[in-house]
Amino acid sequence: MPIFAAAIIGGLHFANTVPKILNAEIIAMAKLTSRDQDYSKWYNELVVDADLAQHSDVKGCMVIKPYGFAIWERMKEVLDAKFKETGHVNAYFPLLIPKSYLSREAAHVEGFAKECAVVTHYRLKNDPDGAGVVVDPDAKLEEELIIRPTSETIIWKTYKNWIQSYRDLPLLVNQWANVVRWEMRTRLFLRTTEFLWQEGHTAHATKDEAVAEAEQMLRVYAEFAEGTLAMPVIQGVKTASERFAGALNTYCIEALMQDGKALQAGTSHFLGQNFARAFDVTFATKDGGKEHVWATSWGVSTRLMGALIMTHSDDLGLVLPPELAPIQAVIVPIHKGGEGEAVVMERCNALCDELRAAGIRVKLDDDDTRRSGWKFAQYELQGVPVRLAIGPRDAAGGTVELARRDTREKSLVPFEGIAAHITALLSEIQSQLLSASRQRLTDNITEVDTWDEFTAALDRGGFVSAHWDGTDETEEWIKQKTKATIRCIPFDGPGTPSPVAPGACVKTGAPSERRVLFARAY
RNA sequence: CGGGGCGUGGCCCAGUCCGGUUAAGGCGCCUGUUUUGGGAACAGGAGACCGCAGGUUCGAAUCCUGCCGCCCCGACCA
């Protein structure tokens, strides 16, 4: 059957959904493993096939390819603006940290020591036995350096000199950086040995101010996740056992992936005075006293790329929310060369100019070494939200074929007024992606009161809202038994998935003040 | 760190058990022709220290020893 199935109905040009059989044909051509078949395999193939990233030759490390990096750059752009709006400035601290710094804060070293890469020498020399180079034993460092797994220590060591007085506070600094954590097991974007992130490190005169900062940045993350990634999140706090090493309280946003597993998408920590004490950072108060400063740190990483992929994408590939898409609309010319080409290209160029003028990130793919069918498939795999095709028929009839990536609907739209149409469509796609994923999230929060219900719900996937007696022992026991962890204790308030109301622990039956959210997680 | 798998042109891989001409096939790449409204067809062409180092043998991708690396599944973690 002809693949081109859209038609102009009754002189009107709109909304003509493609017959289902067409979608079936397209899906049959998909080269990805389906999500049903093997979700994990689907994910890995998508990352590579959509040209987002690839494995490097070093275990656990990845090359982020230009298209993947463009998406990350969009994330950075939006987040960075939000940080600036909330009064933060960027700076940069070194990659290498003296080993001794790490041990200043007891809980911190406990948390990170096991995954630190260590620099021991500063020189190589030619291998006397043959080819290549060897470490020069004469070039051993007096004090070994670690490659930062996070920067609290070097930053607090520095802050000691920056902060003297209450006038120096608050200190609101962020850095965009790479960090290394030598994880046993890695997955592209979700957990790589080296990853890119931002880490905010702030210093405050009072506890309340620091807590407010940590909470504010969590809200910034949540707004970003929902507004830009179209990924709904649950905001809450971590239990003591899940806290950041060295924090007094860890706030988090938790998202739900399509396979029912939870993903920690961002964290914001209230560090109390732990690092100020460890690095002796004090300030003179207004009334002449001397106090340790209060701290926060907060971060999101390239892991968000994984979250994005597993929130919206389908068996044909990536689905990008328009806010984030490096290319929001792609124009594919269709012609047979010769005279027809000039006519089609003229329309395409006009379309491209018009969309660009309307502030749409548009690409005209005039590469004549690829056929249109190949391009259609490629842009679907890469998640471009809107695809526009213009062929001789469109050039003659004043129409454009428009295909939505999210619903895979095709329609013919008039050339006239198309920029406004697409602008509106992009924002509709953005909000539909959010509402669809929000629906999936709410549909997959199960409230349970018995152990049997609890385990059954966990096996179905999603978040399980249950009472917990508040002890580390019970939390650990449940983790061992079910592989589920307490993802967070959600904030109370309207729409909370687990309201504050007394009950009995799902495991021990001991009294519980409120429900918490359990899930199996990435 | 345990369990499993794998290393052969840019990519996917056959061949390895049972050693024997020129290392097969597909994708991709290059050239040409015809094509172009859903991943084009045909013809020709280029491209390989068979992971590395030893060993056995007349002869090794194949057998032996050692080493290295990666991926997947667990434990650990953002």
**A24: confidence class by pLDDT, cuts 50, 70, 90:** low
Residue whose token pair is 């059957």: A1
What was the pLDDT predicted at A132? Answer: 66
A263-291 confidence digits (pLDDT tens): 999 999 999 999 999 999 999 999 999 99
Q: If DSSP states are collapsed to H, E and C, what string results for A430-478?
A: HHHHHHHHHHHHHHCEEECCCHHHHHHHHHHCCEEEEECCCCHHHHHHH
Topology (CATH) of A63-97+153-312: BirA Bifunctional Protein; domain 2 (3.30.930)
Q: Please give residues of chain A from 375 to 414 whose alpha-adjacent beta carbon (CB) lies under 7 Å from any atom of strand B.
A: 376-378, 380-381, 389-395, 401, 403, 408, 410
Please state, rounded to an integer, the average pLDDT across all residues of chain A: 89
Decide: A485 and A458 in contact? Cβ < 8 Å: no
Give, in Å, how far the C1' of B57 lies from the CA of A131: 29
DSSP 8-state symbol, A18: P
Neighbour count for residue A310 (Cβ, 10 Å): 24
Average the pLDDT over A136-142 and give the result. 88
pLDDT at A165 over 70: yes
* Phi-psi label, residue A194: left if phi above 0, alpha if psi -120 to 50, beta otherwise: beta
A170-223 confidence digits (pLDDT tens): 999 999 999 998 887 888 999 888 999 999 999 999 999 999 999 999 999 999
Q: Is A408 helix (H, G, I), strand (E, B) or coil?
A: coil
Q: Is A201 helix (H, G, I), strand (E, B) or coil?
A: strand
Among A78-87, A158-167, A370-379, the range scoring the smallest mean pLDDT is A370-379
Give, in Å, how far the C1' of B35 lies from the CA of A367: 16
Higher pLDDT, A449 or A132: A449
Q: Provide the CATH number for the domain formed by A320-439 in this structure.
A: 3.40.50.800
Which of A454, A417, A415, A40 lies closest to A257 in space, CA to CA? A40
Q: Please give residues of chain A from 462 to 481 whose alpha-adjacent beta carbon (CB) lies under 7 Å from any atom of strand B.
A: none
Average the pLDDT over A15-22 and give the result. 38
Decide: A482 and A451 in contact? Cβ < 8 Å: no
Closest nt to residue A242, judged CA to C1': B77
Which of A484, A476, A474 lies closest to A506 in space, CA to CA? A474
Q: What are phi and psi of A331, to 5 degrees?
A: -110, 125
Kindly determine whether the C-beta of residue A283 is less than 7 Å away from any atom of nucleic acid strand B: no
What was the pLDDT predicted at A497? Answer: 82
pLDDT at A51 over 80: yes
A444-519: CATH architecture: 2-Layer Sandwich (3.30)
Q: Is A325 helix (H, G, I), strand (E, B) or coil?
A: coil
Give buried/exposed letters for A58-73 (b at 16+ CB in 10 A, else e).
eebebebeebbbbbbe
Chain B nucleotides close to protein (CB under 7 A) are 1, 35-40, 69-78
Neighbour count for residue A339 (Cβ, 10 Å): 10
pLDDT at A388 over 90: yes
For CATH 3.30.930.10, list the domain ranges present in chain A.
63-97+153-312
**A22: confidence class by pLDDT, cuts 50, 70, 90:** very low
HSE-CB of A217 using CA atoms within 13 angstroms: 32
Give, in Å, how far the C1' of B28 lies from the CA of A373: 17
Q: What are phi and psi of A182, to 5 degrees?
A: -80, 75
Q: Hey, what are A75's tokens?
A: 């994330």
Decide: A394 and A416 in contact? Cβ < 8 Å: no
| Rounded-to-integer distance, Cα A315 and Cα A317, Å | 5
For CATH 3.40.50.800, list the domain ranges present in chain A.
320-439
Decide: A446 and A462 in contact? Cβ < 8 Å: yes
* Phi-psi label, residue A280: left if phi above 0, alpha if psi -120 to 50, beta otherwise: left
Furthest-apart CA pair in chain A: how many Å? 84
Kindly determine whether the C-beta of residue A251 is less than 7 Å away from any atom of nucleic acid strand B: no
For CATH 3.30.110.30, list the domain ranges present in chain A.
444-519
Kindly determine whether the C-beta of residue A261 is less than 7 Å away from any atom of nucleic acid strand B: no
Q: What are phi and psi of A50, to 5 degrees?
A: -80, 5
What was the pLDDT predicted at A5? Answer: 31
A406-447 confidence digits (pLDDT tens): 999 999 999 999 999 999 999 999 999 999 999 999 999 999
* Phi-psi label, residue A126: left if phi above 0, alpha if psi -120 to 50, beta otherwise: beta
Kindly determine whether the C-beta of residue A192 is less than 7 Å away from any atom of nucleic acid strand B: yes
Which of A349, A50, A61 lies closest to A192 in space, CA to CA? A61
Kindly determine whether the C-beta of residue A238 is less than 7 Å away from any atom of nucleic acid strand B: no
Q: How far is residue A376 CA from its own chain's centroid?
A: 26
Average the pLDDT over A103-132 and give the result. 81
Strands A96-98 and A133-135: unpaired
**A26: confidence class by pLDDT, cuts 50, 70, 90:** low
What was the pLDDT predicted at A1? Answer: 26
Q: What residue type is A193 in one-letter code?
A: T
- Cα angle A119, A120, A124; round to 5: 100
Q: Hey, what are A224's tokens?
A: 């970003």
ipTM above 0.95, yes or no: no
What was the pLDDT predicted at A305? Answer: 95
pLDDT at A109 over 70: yes
| Rounded-to-integer distance, Cα A439 and Cα A494, Å | 17
Report how far apart the first and last C-alpha atoms of chain A are (Å, whole number). 43
